[in-house]
Chains A and B, each alone.
Chain A
């Protein structure tokens, strides 16, 4: 049996060993234990939000709106918004998990303080938390597809690709969210996050095509990551590929890389205050 010291010494000469002890899975293990013992209610009910939106908007609003031009053919309003809601909920979940959740565990419950008093490094904590958030996002996406398919809202088998796409865009937001949180010290500053998110999500075309707006506003919206996320998931949902799809993918690749870069650089500022 190896002792704690021997385990830590094994990595002593590796590059980045101060940040990463190679044990992000210990954080995941903790999340699973917590799930079993106390956090299952909020986690299990987490998939419900986009479903409620779909019921309300798809069926209520759908009566008033009828069919819409999705840019990939004219479809029933409920079919149009389904992928948008999937993308929105994936992004929102990732943002919450990487901002408020991290902030709370840092400042209020001091949970990370305990973890970081062990040989674990900030990158173990960050990776573990992000992975856990993405696993949840993945199960929510699967649940969403499983609910919408029998309702006739899923156009084809290829829509299954929307699941990894949802996880992919969630990763982009989570990596960025943590970097942003590292700059914030007060609850008031954290409150600004929600304020920026509201217009971003309202305008990003989950509930209606942004072509209803004047060109300048449309252009502005096309800069938002949320718009790219929604469009990417919508493309795959409809089994539709074009240069735009690649652009959205590229956008998120860049976002993930920059987000991770800043998060890693700021990890000490974030976790070792």
Chain B
């Protein structure tokens, strides 16, 4: 008999347990996560926002950034980029660890918790990190006077949603990779880096040579950034594009989850 072990309860709350374990794991890193959450925006805003802002202003004023100060222009983009980076960390490493490094998922899977719940649990853990990062970042933007509270609060849920969509896809992809040896380096260099650099973070995407622009179109960061700008300072954007951005992220989220669920189930069944 399973004395004291309520299988039905574990079944129904499996994802919560996994998420709790993930968050406990992150707490070991709480110092560093907090410093990164506050230091990252601070340094980027001062270094890039002000440093490059001066150069931009001297050369072309606000004409290249749609009429706003350079720092205002990049603030929502940096916010989105920090959120997606946090999501990447918490979606990729736990999956590598779970399947390969420490094989934790196999141990969890031997309990009544099922693969789908592991996916959801890791996802919730990633979201927790993203929420923390985004709120810290936003508070700093307010403190810097880059955005105002009333006008920009809705950038928070939108950015979190975008980061979630990214996390789902990353979980799916990471779980699909069999030989992870150099997967991280290669993914970082050939996919993540270009995505971050060519997503209209530091300058409008359309100032890039045309052949480089498609990198931005497929990048969730570009969609998140455009939405972030729209919601934080009233950047003008057409209704159609608004729909495109949201749809793209929704599709990513759904496809990411589908892939992750399938791959997790496949690998854990072996």
Which residue of chain B is the closest to A66 with respect to CB atoms?
B59
Which residues on the A side are within 8 Å of B193 (C-beta)?
Answer: 48-49, 52
Does chain B have a CB within 8 A of A207?
Answer: yes
The smallest C-beta distance from B33 to any residue of chain A, in angstroms, reads 9
Does chain A have a CB within 8 A of B181?
Answer: yes
> Given A65-B56, A188-B32, A208-B52, A41–B198 Cβ distance below 8 Å?
no
CB pair B203–A60 under 8 Å, yes or no, is yes
* Residue in A45, A56, A61, A208 whose beta carbon sits within 8 Å of that of B54 in the complex: A208
Which residue of chain A is the closest to B42 with respect to CB atoms?
A199
CB pair A64–B203 under 8 Å, yes or no, is yes
List B residues at the A interface (Cβ < 8 Å).
28-29, 31-32, 35-36, 39-40, 43-44, 46-48, 50-52, 54-56, 59-60, 64-65, 70, 181-182, 185-186, 189-190, 193-194, 197-198, 202-203, 207-209, 212
Q: How far is the CA of A188 from the CA of B35 in the complex (A)?
A: 12
* Residue in A39, A42, A67, A213 whose beta carbon sits within 8 Å of that of B51 in the complex: A213
Does chain B have a CB within 8 A of A212?
Answer: yes
List A residues at the B interface (Cβ < 8 Å).
38-39, 41-42, 45-46, 48-49, 52-53, 55-57, 59-61, 63-68, 77, 188, 191-192, 195, 198-199, 202-203, 207-208, 210, 212-213
CB pair B182–A188 under 8 Å, yes or no, is no
Which residues on the B side are within 8 Å of A202 (C-beta)?
Answer: 43-44, 47-48
Instruction: Tell me the interface secondary structure of chain B in the complex.
Output: helix
Which residue of chain A is the closest to B65 with respect to CB atoms?
A64
Q: Which 6 A-B pairs have the closest CB atoms?
A: A202-B47, A56-B197, A42-B185, A63-B207, A212-B54, A64-B64
Instruction: Tell me the interface secondary structure of chain A in the complex.
Output: helix
The smallest C-beta distance from A221 to any residue of chain B, in angstroms, reads 10
* Residue in B43, B44, B50, B202 whose beta carbon sits within 8 Å of that of A212 in the complex: B50
The smallest C-beta distance from B235 to any residue of chain A, in angstroms, reads 16
CB pair B208–A60 under 8 Å, yes or no, is yes
Which residues on the B side are within 8 Å of A65 (C-beta)?
Answer: 52, 55-56, 59-60
Q: How far is the CA of A161 from the CA of B44 in the complex (A)?
A: 31
> Given A60-B207, A64-B207, A208-B52, A48–B190 Cβ distance below 8 Å?
yes
